Structures are given as structure tokens and as C-alpha cells.
Structure 1
Amino acid sequence: MGTAFWIALVFILIAFGILICRFFIWIKEEKIRIYDIGALLDIGKKQVQANAYGFKPEKDRLMAILSAGEGKEYAGKVAALTTVRTFTKLYNRYDNNQSSRYFFERAYETANMNVLNALRGENGRAYAVCLMLRGNLLSYAIMGHINIYIFRKKELILLSRGQIMEELIKEKVNKGILSKEAALRISDTNKAYNYIGRDDYMKPLISKEEIKLKRKDMVVIINAGVEKNISIRELEIILSKKHGCKKTAKEIIETIKKKDTKDLDNLGLILIRI
């Protein structure tokens, strides 16, 4: 066998090695970038389902939104659906070179205007959490009362309780704007001070920086109906089971409904495993 043969063999082996390396890199990237998603709504014991959700998954990116509406008759439903449709429509035109903050600010302000136009003077509003994932980097924005957690190593870590009076009061007390005595007099832990559908628009709460998630972390978004009717410990036990997000979401809802709570609110949640 001549020198040409051995040179050719070396090049073949090098090329084969490069292909193998690229294959394993691709496998690793796929494990990071494919999201397991479970989203579920339940009407509870109400006559109208006033919650809505939407998501736009891509290979290495994801936008998801959960919205909870409030209002007489169908006003809350209209507000929530309008909010979700606004976000998904705007995301279809979202440029990945733009920051997530730009998208959040534009989407919430546009949704606020669209909800006002859709309700035409009817008394309704919507709360909403929107998140964006870029690989394993999380950013989020909240308007109103919806909680967002990270589930890691069998423990729920609260990222934000949203824009509720308790959080606003804490901020004002810490800044010295409000006394502790005054805070106790006006405290209402479950009341949201901001929402979509305001004439005097207020900006959402936006995460200050991207949060780096770990493999097998789960993002958990729950509305007030879920929060009030299941404990953190109960959630942690269910989330610790090695099920897909769809099955896990279903078990959470079923656990709440088995309690047969009187006047059970609408239930809504989104689970996303990295």
C-alpha cells in the first residue's frame, strides 16, 4: 500500500471523527432546546372560563403566555383571549435580534389598547404572565396576579408573585415611602394593583436579567385559582413524579378538583421542562 492510500485513510478517519463530534454536539443541543410543555385550563365551578393561554415553540426558543380575565359575564373571557391573541400575533413578527424587554413592553401596551377596544366600556380586565426562553435562558414579564416558579431538585423556587398590593407595600416600606403602621392598615395580599385594560396604562413587571436554567428545571406558572387551592408541598410532590408536563398538569388540576371546594375559581397553569 502506497503513501497515497495512507494519506487518504487519515483524511477519511479525520472526516469521520468530525462527523461523530458534530453528531454528539447536535444531540446535546437537542436535549437543551426541546421543551416539554403542559398547559391546562379548567372552568372550576364558574359559568365562564375566563382564562386563556398560548405558546409559540421553536427549535431553541419559546414564547408562552397565561392570562386570567376578570369581569361580569363574558368581559373577563374577552380580555384574556384578546391578550393571548395579541401576544401570539406580535411574536409572529418578533425579530430574534431584538431584546425580550422590547417585546414585553410592546406586547403589554398593545394588549392593553386592544382589550380596551374589545370591551367598549364594559368592566373587564386581564392579568398575564409572558415568558421567553432562549435555549436555557429565561426572561419573563408579569402584569397583575399570577405566580411564576422554578421547580428544581424537588423544590419550588418563587420568582415572582406579580404586581399585587403586598409586593407594592413591601417596596414602599423598604424605600421609606410608607410606614409599617400604614402598610398594615391597607394591606390586601390578594389584590392586584395593575392589569391589562386600564385607561391609565402602567408598565408590567419585567425580569431584570435573563435567568440561566439547568437541565431538567421546570418553569411553573399558576393563576390565583390554582394558588389558593393547592399547597406548595402538594405541588412539589406532584412535580417530583417523573411524568411529562401534560400528565403532570392534569394531575394538579385533578388534585384540586377532588377537594370539592365550594365556588371553585377558574384554574390555569403552564408547565415547561427544559
Structure 2
Amino acid sequence: MVNAFNKQLEKSHRNRENITDVSKKNKGKTDMGTAFWMALILILTAFFILSWRVYTWIKEEKIMIYDIGALLDIGKRQVQANAYGFKQEKDRLMAILSAGEGKEYTGKVAALTTVRTFTKLYNRYDNNQSSRYFFDRAFETANMNVLNALRGENGRAYAACLMLRGNLLSYAIMGHINIYIFRRKELILLSKGQIMEELIKEKVNKGLLSKEAARRISDTDRAYNCIGRDDYMKPLMPKEEIRLKKKDMVVIMTAGVEKNISVRELEIIISRKHSCNGTAKEIIETIKKKNNEDLDNLGLIIIGI
């Protein structure tokens, strides 16, 4: 009896040991499984975060980069009196094109002074400020700087400045500079600037000038405002920003370009889908091949969105 009881006791003890061993093994497997799933979750989370950052970076880079082409040509003149400038940061861009007029070097001085004024002021531009505030301040400061630089000499400048914030366009023009948008193979005129033609239309629409009197006015392309006048007049500015579409192009040109190439010729050249710089070169080359003996200075900026 005693031996049987001892055998039963030993058997029971062995069973408890076996159960303990199995329990330890199962616990080890459970711990390994939990660690595996936790590691997998961490890896997937890290991969998701990295993918999102790469996607965001690519998206930002696409917004940041504008294709820009700019070109000046002296034409048949002895002095290049056109000038341009750019300032770009992140998804913002400021571009200025200026055309000077005056005897000898006064036009050149006026245009260069205008561009330098805009680029310097843009370095201190606060992104929280409106584009209208910048335009007002920059044009008025440029007007004062041109007067100081010329010191009584007869010279002036026309200028168009645009600001891009992502795909939102705002612009201001003083004098005769043309701004177009190229969209779906069509060149759409935004403004010819402050010229008599636009002023006459405005006065006719307001009933301040009859259509008969308007027809008798000649030289409608003459600018009625400029940078470098004692009685400062504000630039032309649209009331709202313009929302551009993907593949749109903004084209700014001086009167010298506008008078020597048709809109249709421009549309054909731009439709060839060169880089903006290549397109600008082809436009200028096309004008020069016409061999106009009285060819004025040429100035052109093209910006692809």
C-alpha cells in the first residue's frame, strides 16, 4: 500500500512538472508572438510616416519650382534700356520687367533703378502682407528713386510686376507693359497697362467721353503714366488674385515685342512646348529675322506654372 501510494505521489509530481514546462513553453511562445506583432506595427508606422514625408516633400517641390525664361535684346538701338529681376522663395515668386525711355542713358538708369528698388524691397517683404501693399510701396519708392537718380534729366520707366503665391497671380502695371496668360494654346490678354486705349474705354464706359470723341483720339498706345513723374499716380492693379491652372504660362512683354510679332505667331511658338527660356529665345529670334530697321529694345519674361 505504501509503495503504491509513493508511486502515485511521484506520478502526480511528474505531471505537475510537465504541466509547468508546457506552461513555460506556451508563455515563451506568447511573448515571442507579442514582440513580433509589436515590431511589425512599429515598422509599418515608420514606413507610413516616411512615405508621407516623401510625398509632402515632392508636393512642395512641385509647387516651389517655376519654369522661368527671360531675355533682353538691344534691337537697333545703341543703349539697352530694358531690365528685369526675379526673387523666389519656396512657393512664392516676384518678377519685374521694366522698359526705360529718355535721351542717352536716362532710360537705362530709370529702368535699372526701378528693378533694383523692387528686388531690394522684396527682400524685406513680409508674407503676411498683401501683394497690393507691396505694389503700392514699391512703385511709389521706385518713382522717388528714379527722380533722385535722374536729377532733373528727362527720363522715365514703365514696369510690370507680378507676384505668384503657389498658383495665385497678382500683378501691377505702370505705363505700357503687356501681361498675357497662355492657356490651352490660346494667349489671353490680361492687360496692356496704363495706355490711352484703356483710359478711353474706361471713360466711355463711365459716360465721361462720347464714342465719337474717342474715335478722334490718335496714338492710343501712348502711356498716360510712368515711373519718374513729379505728380505720382498709382499703378494699375486688379481687384482680385487670378487662379492659374496647371500648365498655364504667364507672359510679360514690352511694347517693343508686342509691336513686332502677332498674337498668332506667339501662340504657335509657345505651343511648341520648349522650356520657357527656349521659348523666349525663339520669340526674340523670330522678331529679329523680320529685320525691322527701327527695331526698339525687346524685353520678355515667360513663367510656366
Given the two structures, how large is their TM-score scaled by the length of structure 1?
A: 0.97
The Cα of 1:258 is off from its aligned counterpart by: 0.4
Structure 1 residue 18: Cα displacement:
2.7
Give 1:215-254 correspondences, 5 Å limit. 215-254=246-285
Which of residues 143, 146, 161 in structure 2 aligns to 1:115? 146
Q: CA deviation at 1:137?
A: 0.9
Offset at 1:187? Answer: 4.1
Match of 2:210 among 168, 179, 192: 179
Letter aligned with residue 232 of structure 1: V
Q: Matched residues in 2 for 1:10 and 1:63: separation?
A: 46
Q: Which residue of structure 2 lines up, in the alignment, with residue 48 of structure 1?
A: 79
Counterpart residue number, 1:31: 62
Report what 2:98 is aligned to.
Answer: 67
State the AA in 2 paired with 1:245.
Answer: C
CA apart distance, 1:129: 0.2
Number of the residue aligned with 1:3:
34
- Between the two proteins, what is the percent identity of the paired residues? 85
Question: What amino acid sits opposite 1:3 in the alignment?
Answer: T
Between Structure 1 and Structure 2, whose CA radius of gyration is higher?
Answer: 2
Return the match for 2:117 from 76, 86, 93. 86
Map Cα deviations across residues 233-266 of structure 1 (whole Å, 9 max, x no partner).
1111111112111111111100100000121000
Provide the rounded CA distance (Å) in 2 between the counterparts of 1:25 and 1:213. Answer: 21
User: Does the aligned pair in 2 maintain the 1:65–1:130 contact within 8 Å?
Assistant: yes
> What residue in structure 2 maps to residue 214 of structure 1?
245
Aligned partners of 1:218 and 1:273 also within 8 Å: yes
CA distance in 2, matches of 1:142, 1:242: 28
Deviates more, 1:152-161 or 1:102-111: 152-161
TM-score by length of 2: 0.88
Alpha-carbon distance between aligned partners in 1 of 2:271 and 2:182, rounded to the nearest angstrom: 9
d(CA) in 1 for partners of 2:117 and 2:79?
Answer: 21
The answer to which of 89-98 and 23-32 deviates more is 23-32
Moved over 3 A (4+): none
1:43-85 C-alpha deviation (Å, 9 max, x unpaired): 0000111100001111211110000001111111110001001
- Please point out which of 99, 117, 136 is paired with 2:130: 99
Could you tell me which runs of 5 or more consecutive residues in structure 2 were left unpaired when the two chains were aligned.
1-31
C-alpha separation in 2, matches of 1:19 and 1:189: 59
Q: What's the C-alpha RMSD, in Å, of the aligned pairs?
A: 1.0
Greater fraction of residues in helix: 2
